[in-house]
Amino acid sequence: MYVAVKGGEQAILSSYQLLDRQRRGDQTVPELSIAQIRQQMKLAVDRVMTEGSVFDPELAALAIKQACGDLVEAIFLLRAYRATLPRLGSTKPIDTSKMVLDRRISATFKDLPGGQVLGPTYDYTQRLLDFSLLERTEDVPLAIAATANNSTIAATTDVPRVIDLLNQEGLIETHPAPELDVSPFDLTRQPVRFPADRSTRLQNLARGDEGFLLAMAYSTQRGYANSHPFVGEIRLGSVAIELVPDELGFAISIGDIEITECQMINQFAGSKTEPPQFTRGYGLAFGHSERKAMAMSLVDRALRAQELGETVQSPAQMPEFVLSHSDSLEASGFVQHLKLPHYVDFQSELELVRKMRSGAEGTEASQDDSDVEHE
């Protein structure tokens, strides 16, 4: 006698228990602390903050711990937390020219005011597994970088932006903020509608999945649209966040955040009346996230194709394509939702296919003498 499947609740509870065990792993091994993740997995924390759209290294570290290191899952946790937080106000735009710099490089000039400061980067390392890290169990004093090139630049006013340097000659396009500068569209409160303006696109890209943006950016370098990019400048450091509370009427600093900014210089454009200028792409991310900021800047530039009179031929240039598929939560959710029961829909399809096949077999079908008719 067939009995309907029950026990969904119990199955879920068991699944939770298994998940807790998976997260904890071998209990003889010390448990990870949030502080350890925050300190020693900084780049993971930075990515989770960027795509989670919340600057809070502690919460990001917690999310990473809870998600067993699955960064997309951690980003989801952070976003879900953020979604219902009350809005206290809007900050003033950050001023990256006042950044306290840890790293600053430009590919367009050999040397420039402020210098090329390498800072902490994997760029000049050799990717050889360091087995000494396997054994390190107690603190080993780390060498303090002594050369001038690696010291933090204290005086921020000595470091003009490359863009501003090019601007002095009028070589690069500029978009001065309009007189009546209205607040930008908030993508986290309203859905994107097409055509989307640049500010909305940039918001979407900032929150977008790094892997997706990287692939889109890469495609523009391989012939799927091309804008001859050069890294004008990459900056890494901290900037002050300022707020103008209604009660005070003037700006106060509420803290510092670390950000990575990429200014990409691209294909010049001009017309009969306007002399040619370089065009730009822009990327911005929380923490130290160069790959993300650079990919974002290439995609930003590609999405400006129509505005700059270029033929739209490749996916990276199509706003609806890029912006609809950039969000890792949406992508992961929908792809993985295929695991959910779909047997009712499948039942319908199964029936249809059987019907069509028996129709195709013609009169042979009536020879079948299965016990169960399911026409």
Which residues would be at the binding site for another protein (CB under 8 A)? 2, 4-9, 11-12, 16-17, 20, 58-59, 62, 76-77, 79-84, 86, 188-191, 193-195, 254, 271-273, 309, 320, 324, 329-330, 332-337, 340-345, 347-352, 356, 359, 371-375
Question: At 260, is the secondary structure helix, strand, or coil?
Answer: strand
Residue 341 Cβ vs another protein, minimum distance, rounded to whole Å: 5
When the beta carbons of 8 and 223 are compared against another protein, the nearer one is 8
DSSP line for 216-250: HHHHHHTBSB----EEEEEEEEEEEEEE--TTT-S
Query: Is the distance from CB of 253 to CB of 245 less than 8 angstroms?
Result: no
Helix intervals (H) in 28-143: 34-40, 42-52, 57-66, 71-83, 132-135
Q: What are phi and psi of 299, to 5 degrees?
A: -70, -40
Q: Rounded to the nearest whole angstrom, what is the least distance from the CB of residue 337 to another protein in the complex?
A: 4
23/198 with CB nearer another protein: 23
Three-class SS of residue 354? helix
Residue type, 252: I
Listing from the earlier edge strand, what are the strands of the sheet with 100-105?
100-105, 230-243, 252-269, 277-286
**Cβ-based nearer residue to another protein, 191 or 223:** 191
- Distance of closest approach, residue 77 Cβ to another protein, in angstroms: 8
Which of 175, 193 has the CB closer to another protein? 193
Alpha carbon 85 to chain centroid distance?
21
- Closest separation in Å from C-beta 333 to another protein: 3
Considering the complex, state which of residue 28 and residue 336 has its C-beta at the smaller distance from another protein.
336
**CB 328 to another protein: min, Å:** 10
In angstroms, rounded to a whole number, what is the distance separating the alpha carbons of residues 339 and 266?
A: 43
Query: Which helix (DSSP H) or strand (DSSP E) does residue 103 occupy?
Result: strand 100-105
**74 or 294: CB nearest another protein:** 74
Nearer to another protein, 4 or 128 (CB): 4
CB of 139 to another protein, least distance (A): 24
Q: Which residues are 278's β-sheet partners?
A: 172, 268
The distance of closest approach from Cβ of residue 80 to another protein in the complex, given in angstroms and rounded to an integer, is 5
Collapsing DSSP states into helix, strand and coil, what is residue 302? helix
Report which of 56, 104, 109, 116 is spatially closest to residue 236, judged by C-alpha positions: 104
Q: DSSP assignment, residue 167?
A: H
Nearest distance in Å: CB 19, another protein? 8
Instruction: Read off the DSSP letter of residue 31.
Output: P
C-beta closer to another protein: residue 216 or 294: 216
Kindly report the number of other CB atoms within 10 A of residue 169's CB atom: 8
